[in-house]
A and B are shown apart, each in its own frame.
Chain A
Amino acid sequence: MSQGDPIAELVSLLGRLPGIGERTATRLTFHVLGSDPTYARALGESLAQIHGRVKRCTICGNYGAEETCAICRDPRREAELLCVVARVPDLVAIERSGSFRGRYHVLHGLLAPLDGVGPDDLPLHDLVARCESDGVREVVVATPLSVEGEATALYVAEVLRPKRVKVSRIASGVPHGGELEFTDQITLGRAFAGRKPL
């Protein structure tokens, strides 16, 4: 297809989304083209407005419709307990589990020197400031169990060490329904180190 071709343009734009290859992008494009034009218009407007309508919470970085998010405004949430996550979808997953009643701090990234992401690229000063101003007692670090996630967790612990804040890491180990045989040594080692009496 030649340049300036509207079909090729949409295929290429959709193909930049995660999990969407050229074939799916092509299918989606022709689907939109074959549907009622009002759908395409509604989709386009929704896409165009998403950045204007959704704001990052000025306190924790979560997404919401206002300057501060619903969780930060909720007086029933414990202000002394903070959970650090890498991305908003992680926050959503924890919320869905209903296992945490504190507030969050979203980093929108992880330390990754190989990709040029350093501490100054993450809202870590804000985290320290929040711990001081809100009288936070405990920070739970729920970053992923990857090299970047672990490095970030250890860095958060380093940064908060001089403050009077307890820093904990979510437990890791064998997943529900997981097979011990195929669990890596570090995970198994952690699972044993974190064993609980029955």
Chain B
Amino acid sequence: MTLAPLRVERLITRGFRNLGVSRLDPGPAFNVIYGDNGAGKSNLLEALYYLGALRSFRGAKTESLVGLDDDHAVVRAKVAGEAAPRVLDVRLDRHSARKLRLDGKRPRSIASWHQAIQVVLFHPGDLTLATGSPEPRRSFLDRILEQMDPTYGSTLSSYNKALRSRNRLLKREQVDRRSVRAYDTMLSQAGAVVGQARAQLVADIAPRTERAFRDVAGVELPLEVRYRPRVPPEPEAILTALRESYDKDRARGFTAEGPHADDLSLRVRSVAAKHHASQGQHRAIVLALKVAELDVLASRVGRVPILLLDDVSSELDRRRNRRLFELLGSLGGQVFLTTTHPEFILLEHNRVDFRVEDGVLRRD
């Protein structure tokens, strides 16, 4: 791959969780962050993730991201891409809105921020992608689309609000059918945009995921990745489905049809992964999805995103572990990974180790 990778050249945090004032000058390839549990390894990854996703991967609210002794937190990074490095600055206040600065200026929009940095994260909770309900799989697709397409997020949130409104109406004792129909129209328009974007994305990531799964799992096990929309993502089809299911929806008190019920189906040897595959295979499936995410973001954005792997050594056996790093190395991106045991990370080259102790970071 000839794409330029994104690289964090320097990360500064102040008052973020337990990190206090910390400075990290990472290497261009693999950065191994090790330390005991609770030392602050994941907090560092969370700070990096926040820069890319503008949210915590642990679902934490702003006030819990700000350290106990601080009234605000700052995360600042110098990020090199293809042209001149950019400086990204996030300030989180306990009591007021978050402030973003891109090269010292307020970004014109969230979209312009997302164009400056893309991150892909793998953490233990991601296993629900393979084992859980469709919900985490839908949001996996939605998070990728938000990073690739500046307008997807606003369309999706309009859809979700219209859906909540329709569900609220369905639960009422008296329903004015005409107001439900007003939402049907909106849901069919926004829903078609959401469904088509997801279908196109899955067409892009399916072959990449299947290939990465073979490489990581190391056996010829056919994984099949497909988008399974509840209703074909066309405005007319969604509108018809909503109108036809009205009586059932009314009885149940919620809307059954539409892209909020879509799934990303993952099948190993034609059996749904969650019913069949072993735990090791589940992990390989999720990693394959993440590798595909990285790959697809790289080709659409034109730069290799930053990869964050939380607690990865405990997640894979050594053989898979080594294959994964070979695969990641071939993609050429910058990687941050955390572990309790740096010797678990079977990497001889292109590696910089950092030790974290009580929120204090030291380069080996």
Contacts and interface: CB of A to CB of B under 8 A. Distances in A.
Partners in one complex: yes
B245 interface: no
B179 A111 contact: yes
B161 A154 contact: no
Contacts of B252: none
Interface in A104-121: 111-114, 118-119
A183 B108 CA distance: 13
B154 A184 contact: yes
A127 to B, nearest CB: 13
Contacts of A114: 161, 164-165, 168
Contacts of A112: 165
A158 interface: yes
Contacts of B185: 154
B162 A118 contact: no
A1 interface: no
B183 A151 contact: yes
Contacts of A150: 182, 186
B168 A182 contact: no
A184 B165 contact: no
Contacts of B154: 184
Interface residues of B: mostly helix, strand, loop or mixed?
A: helix
A151 B162 contact: yes
Contacts of B161: 114, 147
B170 to A, nearest CB: 10
B299 interface: no
B347 to A, nearest CB: 40
A95 B213 CA distance: 62
A182 B109 contact: yes
B155 interface: yes
Contacts of B186: 147, 150-151, 154
B133 to A, nearest CB: 24
A184 B178 contact: no
A182 B152 CA distance: 11
A159 interface: yes
Contacts, number: 69
A185 B155 contact: yes
Interface residues of B, number: 29
A155 B179 contact: yes
B139 interface: no
B193 A185 contact: yes
A186 interface: yes
Contacts of B164: 114
Contacts of A183: 151
A111 B182 contact: yes
A118 B179 contact: yes
B314 interface: no
A113 B178 CA distance: 13
Given A118-B179, A119-B179, A154-B186, A186 B193 contact: yes
A119 B176 CA distance: 8
Interface string B176-219: 10110111011001100100000000000000000000000000
Given A114-B168, A186-B189, A158 B181 contact: yes
B178 A159 contact: yes
A112 B158 CA distance: 13
Given A186-B189, A186-B193, A154 B158 contact: no
B111 interface: yes
A183 B150 CA distance: 9
Nearest to B193: A185
B169 interface: yes
A159 B182 CA distance: 10
19 contacts: A111-B179, A113-B168, A119-B176, A147-B158, A147-B165, A151-B162, A151-B182, A152-B182, A154-B185, A155-B179, A158-B181, A158-B182, A184-B154, A186-B158, A186-B189, A186-B190, A186-B193, A188-B151, A189-B193
Interface of B: 108-109, 111-112, 149-152, 154-155, 158, 161-162, 164-166, 168-169, 176, 178-179, 181-183, 185-186, 189-190, 193
